[in-house]
Amino acid sequence: MSLTARDQQVIWHPYTQHKNMVPPVPVLYGKGALLFDENNKTYIDAISSWWVNIHGHAHPYIAEKIYEQAKKLQQVIFTSFTHEPAIKLAERLLQILPGHFSKIFYSDNGSTAVEVAIKMAIQYWKNQSAKGRNKILAFRNSYHGDTFGSMSVSERGVFTLAFYDYLFEVIFIDTPTQENIDGIKKFLELNGDEIACFIYEPLLQAAGGMHIYDPSLLDDLLVTIKSKNIICIADEVMTGFGRTGKLFAGEYMQAGPDIICLSKGLTGGTMAMGVTASSQNIFDAFLSDDKSKSFFHGHSFTANPIACSAALASLDLFEKKECLQQINRIVEYNKNFMNRLAGKYSLSDSKGYTIKNLRQLGTVVAFEMIGGEDGYLNTISASVTENAMQKGIYLRPLGNTVYIMPPYCITEDELNRVYDFLLELIE
């Protein structure tokens, strides 16, 4: 029996409608930006396997560090014990994060990193007996994960539709524009004293359709929010580790968050791990002789030594000048592709697709294909993926939002194959 047939007997895949689904492709191994199936056909991983794989598949340096750690200590309860990989990783992260952070809390994915942040913010005010600070602020069109707290602070859309009645109340505002920012700031002046925290994806709302917004306007908004003593939570699960052209999206702003959430690229896409970093004043609110003020949150695999070692290896690679050069190279290639793609706006009589809202942020390029209603359920996605797979390219549009987000090791030839496929498709 084939791997595909065995899979279909026992596996329930994420984000998948299994009725009439396209059978999954068995991947035997990966190398660099390529995936190899059981027939040795290659696929360019143009979206970094859900945005996690930043250095390429099966990177030998990360694999070696994982192997070395696995021979020494694979797991230990992280309450009574600690270990060097966790300490060293926290020390290194605190040196590079965009803001003033002093403590690292470990979990095991992006959703849990967000859950930790929300609970920290809520309990921060609770521990200080601050009455009235009980509202949470978030952006419309946001996505912060699939656990219940992270769903609650996300857009009420197709991802959360089945669970509406179980999500807690959140105040949603639009991402800032020149037209609306004065109104948002006025709202905050009137209501800010009731808000415990504000959570945001800096500059790029990824799952919400690769929506990009202005860093100077976000900076202006953060200044107002912080003036009301509202705890700011930056969800850099996707934008962290070079995706926006800088190491973190927060580097585009002067106003920094009080809490930051990381995952995805943290371990180079090799191990599941989440990080929530907090400022000292957040941590201090939990210091008490009253044990009930402790932060009662944890995961079985908190600070897993192997995952910490993978993250340390990924940071080693980031510190090499070649990594920054690779990121800058992709940014420039994307700009050139944008220029080529811009000419396709005029193809209104094309037999292919017309496009709109062409945009770029760092290593990410995105646009919408016109046809049907905008959104995640648009069936253009399946058509694009099917055509791309036939060409040996893996793309997974968000409905009619097509995007590229490649691993940094991708070659010029591989990128050009992706670009040429998209240009062909549109024409």
Q: What is the number of alpha carbons within 13 Å of residue 302 lying toward its C-beta?
A: 18
**Mean pLDDT score across all residues of the chain:** 94
Residue 147 has a pLDDT of 96
Residue 179 has a pLDDT of 97
Say yes or no to pLDDT of 190 above 70.
yes
User: What structural domains does the chain harbor?
Assistant: 3-58+322-426 (3.90.1150.10), 73-318 (3.40.640.10)
Say yes or no to pLDDT of 347 above 70.
no
Could you tell me the pLDDT band of residue 331, with boundaries at 50, 70 and 90?
Answer: very high
Could you tell me the pLDDT band of residue 349, with boundaries at 50, 70 and 90?
Answer: very low
Per the CB < 8 A criterion, the answer to whether 249 and 204 are in contact is: yes
Read off the pLDDT of each residue in 314-340 and give the average, rounded to a whole number. Answer: 95
Range of weakest confidence among 69-73, 118-122, 136-140, 355-359 = 355-359
Residue 426 has a pLDDT of 85
Residue 352 has a pLDDT of 58
Nearest to 108 by CA among 17, 221, 237: 237
Read off the pLDDT of each residue in 360-384 and give the average, rounded to a whole number. Answer: 89
Instruction: Tell me which residues are annotated as active site.
Output: 15, 143, 235, 264
Residue 345 has a pLDDT of 58
Say yes or no to pLDDT of 319 above 50.
yes
pTM of the model: 0.95
Residue 351 has a pLDDT of 56
Read off the pLDDT of each residue in 199-215 and give the average, rounded to a whole number. Answer: 97
Say yes or no to pLDDT of 306 above 50.
yes
Handedness of CA 267, 273, 274, 279 (dihedral sign): negative
Residue 405 has a pLDDT of 97
Say yes or no to pLDDT of 168 above 60.
yes
Residue 348 has a pLDDT of 47
Read off the pLDDT of each residue in 17-29 and give the average, rounded to a whole number. Answer: 93
Over the stretch 385-416, which tens digit does the pLDDT of each residue have? 999 999 999 999 999 999 999 999 999 999 99
